[in-house]
Amino acid sequence: MADPQYDKTMIKKGYVRVKGRIPIGKSWKKKLLVLYGPSSNGASRLVKYSGEQAFAEDEPSSQIPLKDVGSALRCKMSEGSHGDGITLHMSDRSIKQFLCDTESESTDWLSVIQTELTRNDNLPSGMFRVFLLPCATLNDSGECILYVTSDCVYIYDNEQKSRQITACDITHIRRYGADGKRKQFLIEAGSKNPTGEGIYLFRTVFHQEIHDQIEAAAERIKKKSSGRQRTVPSIPAKQPIYVNQRP
């Protein structure tokens, strides 16, 4: 489960009205709408919640990835629809609409959505957004960039992307694994790792993609060394990860 308290990329949050699913009466329901930038919880997206409690418990009603939105425009709503409307024109040619109570609120929503639509949040191949949980061997925690190369896994600061936090040679990783239920990924670096040993636990929706990239790199190293290099043990996918934070 992605914890909204850990997602520091929340750009805007507020109540809006969206059209109900039942066509009779076409009533507008009050919902909590949150705009997130790209993070370990996913790409830029609009997430709808039933209210504050659902937001705190991370139980969204629905979400709209901004990559599926072609444009966002102010629109004039039909008579009887009180408020200023915004229309999202989707890539599949459908539309989604919501109402704001005031013109200024509508202007704010339109501005932040259009700004996010112009942002290119795609990372190069092998790079993933992760949330590094606090651990005993690092001073850093929070949103990071994890980069898997042919022989190493690098962790970079999300804000200062040139600042390396740590690195793990793939041949010196004791174990690694993905926990799909918790949306977590673990790497345990051995004592021979150039930056030292440590257990690093990440929260990310990209846990399986990271696992597959490291596994593929480990297999290539194994083949290249003709079996002389030891293999890196992967935690089975169905096995939960339990981590002792003490080194």
Neighbours of 178 (CB within 10 A): 27
* Residues 222-229, mean pLDDT to the nearest whole number: 70
pLDDT value for 84: 82
pLDDT value for 219: 92
What is the Cα–Cα distance from 158 to 147, expressed in whole angstroms? 12
pLDDT at 246 over 80: no
**Phi-psi domain of 191 (left: phi exceeds 0; alpha: psi -120 through 50; beta: other):** alpha
- Residue of 58, 111, 48, 122 whose CA lies nearest to 84: 111
CATH architecture of 127-224: Roll (2.30)
Q: Are 66 and 54 in contact (CB under 8 A)?
A: no
- CATH node for 10-119: 2.30.29.30
Which of residues 243 and 92 earns the better pLDDT score?
92
pLDDT value for 166: 95
- For residue 83, what pLDDT band results from cuts at 50, 70 and 90? low
Query: What are phi and psi for residue 70, nearest 5 degrees?
Result: -80, -40
Query: What are phi and psi for residue 163, nearest 5 degrees?
Result: -90, 115
What is the Cα–Cα distance from 188 to 128, expressed in whole angstroms? 18
pLDDT value for 226: 65
Question: Which residues of the chain does CATH 2.30.29.30 include?
Answer: 10-119, 127-224
pLDDT value for 224: 85
Q: Give the tens place of pLDDT for each residue, 27-77.
A: 788 999 999 999 999 999 999 999 999 999 889 999 999 999 999 998 876
**Percent of the residues in the chain that have a pLDDT greater than 90, as a whole number:** 66
Neighbouring residues of 195: CB distance < 8 A, sequence distance ≥ 6 = 166, 167, 168, 189
β-sheet bridge partners, residue 74: 86
Q: Give the tens place of pLDDT for each residue, 167-224.
A: 999 999 999 999 999 999 999 999 999 888 999 999 999 999 999 999 999 999 988 8
Structure token digits, residue 126: 């092998």
3-state class of 147 per DSSP?
Answer: strand
What is the Cα–Cα distance from 126 to 132, expressed in whole angstroms? 17
Q: Give the tens place of pLDDT for each residue, 13-25.
A: 999 998 765 554 4
**Percent of the residues in the chain that have a pLDDT greater than 70, as a whole number:** 82
